[in-house]
Copies of this chain bind each other. A is one copy, B any other.
Amino acid sequence: MISALFTDLYELNMAQAYCVERMADRAVFELAYRKLPDHRNYIVAAGLEDALRFLERFHFTMDELDWLREQRGFSDPFVSSLEDLRFTGDVYALPEGTPVFPNEPLLQVVAPIMEAQLVETALLNMLHFQSLALTKAERIVRAARGRQVVDFGSRRAPGGDAALSVARATYLAGGHGTSNVLAGRTWGMPIFGTMAHSYIQAHETEAGAFEAFASLFPETTLLVDTYDTLEGVRLVVDLKKRLGDRFRVSAVRLDSGDLVALAREARRMLDEAGLGSVTIFASSGLDEYHIAHLVETGAPIDAFGVGTKMAVSADAPELDMAYKLVEYAGKGRFKLSRGKTLYPGRKQIFRKILDSRMAGDTIGRFDESLPGAPLLRLSMLAGRIQPQPSLEESRHYIQQQMAQLPEELLSLEAAVRPYPVHFSENLKSDLESLRSRTCVLVP
């Protein structure tokens, strides 16, 4: 579990200030991103499960408080007040798997200001990367057009918890599973894996390695590119000849070279040897662009192992995501920082559906009645997690959500017309009225 000390120092400074100033009123913070990265038409919300668990368990340990007392700037009464601090607020959020557009809150925290402030860093950390990872995984799975996608990214994911998040995201996105054993155990999802080059290399001959492995794992996938890919395929065909009916190898894996040409030739060789049931698994620096290309050229590849590019969301590794105060003590709060204007007040997103497709969103006041379905749902009440979907339910939900996206947003490149999102008239007038009452040089 993430420690309550996983926070930026300023959160603790501000918490002490709120404490001293007796500012204990209810605050509303909203977490949203400001603009889409290149190559993205939407972001798929994720990270809520971890965020809610973090909030429910949020507390400082005695050991942490003892350490805090020794730090400069913190008074004893303040640190003591942290002893019993728990997160007691409400959270409204988009279910994981919901497409979300710029300026739309993915998550809304309604809590005494000190509590809401202290959890900022951890909440952003979880939602930011997990949303990027799910968005990337969804693109990759979609590009594969029904072919299996397996997460191979753990070795190059940015850290251990990122590896686990990426495995989960792959499965949520409709992928087949992961190579990571711990992730498979943690979420009860399918785990895949065969052999590495080292296994082949450690044997005196490639043929010997294939035979030994297939005798232990009869339905295995054999990695054929250690020395020469097509020579490797020929050895698989030889193995069939030697084993006869005992041959049950299910696939060959290509991990280097020109995958289109090699897959075609491998397919031809396998088919010619009566091995039509042996499938072709490809890996090697794949992402949605490569996969879309392989699928379009008709390369006879049945499944993809996807690693690094997915694990780091290579073409969009960051999102301008922030957690902002929009209401305190019942009053709307705003910001005018250049390029980062913030609309005041607690919000709701209303999404219109026409002919089973999303047709535009309006961001309005939380209590407005506007056309469309409200998207932010109560996820935590008074510090208690409300019933959440299972992994399988979320996996199903994201499929439904993707089917409702306008066709033009499903391109791997930026759509000509972005999805329409507007602020409601009430919100606009709330901003104007606050702006006009603020005595500053507004551009």
Contacts and interface: CB of A to CB of B under 8 A. Distances in A.
Contacts of A165: 159
B128 A156 contact: yes
A257 interface: yes
Nearest to A212: B21
A179 B333 contact: no
Interface in A183-226: 184-185, 191-199, 201-202, 212-213, 216-217, 220, 225-226
A271 B192 CA distance: 64
A155 to B, nearest CB: 4
B163 A162 contact: no
A249 interface: no
Contacts of A117: 196, 198
Nearest to A9: B193
A203 to B, nearest CB: 8
A318 B325 contact: no
Contacts of A17: 195, 199, 212-213, 216-217
Contacts of A71: 191
A196 to B, nearest CB: 6
Contacts of A12: 181, 193
Interface in A110-156: 113, 117, 120-122, 124-125, 128-129, 132, 152, 154-156
Counting every copy of the chain, the complex holds 2
A386 interface: no
A175 to B, nearest CB: 15
A6 B182 contact: yes
A294 interface: no
Contacts of A417: none
A165 B220 CA distance: 37
Contacts of A438: 227
A339 B349 CA distance: 50
A113, A125, A231, A313 interface centre (most CB from chain B within 10 Å): A125
A62 interface: no
A2, A152, A159, A328 interface centre (most CB from chain B within 10 Å): A159
A265 B196 CA distance: 60
Contacts of A220: 13
Interface in A1-51: 2-3, 5-14, 16-18, 20-21, 23, 27, 29
A327 to B, nearest CB: 10
Contacts of A154: 6, 8, 121, 125
Contact of A129 (B158, B191, B340): B158
A181 B255 contact: no
A255 to B, nearest CB: 7
A180 B340 contact: no
Interface in A315-354: 317-321, 323-325, 328-329, 333-340
B202 A328 contact: yes
A73 B8 CA distance: 46
Contact of A185 (B67, B152, B309, B323): B67
A256 B34 CA distance: 14
A187 to B, nearest CB: 13
Given A160-B161, A256-B340, A337-B197, A202 B10 contact: no
Which 6 A/B pairs are nearest by Cβ-Cβ distance? A9-B193, A159-B161, A10-B193, A198-B325, A124-B155, A257-B338
13 contacts: A9-B180, A9-B184, A10-B193, A10-B194, A12-B181, A20-B216, A125-B155, A160-B161, A201-B334, A202-B325, A226-B335, A257-B337, A285-B320
Given A8-B181, A227-B438, A228-B441, 12 more contacts: A8-B155, A10-B193, A13-B193, A14-B198, A17-B217, A21-B212, A120-B155, A129-B156, A156-B321, A161-B162, A285-B320, A308-B320
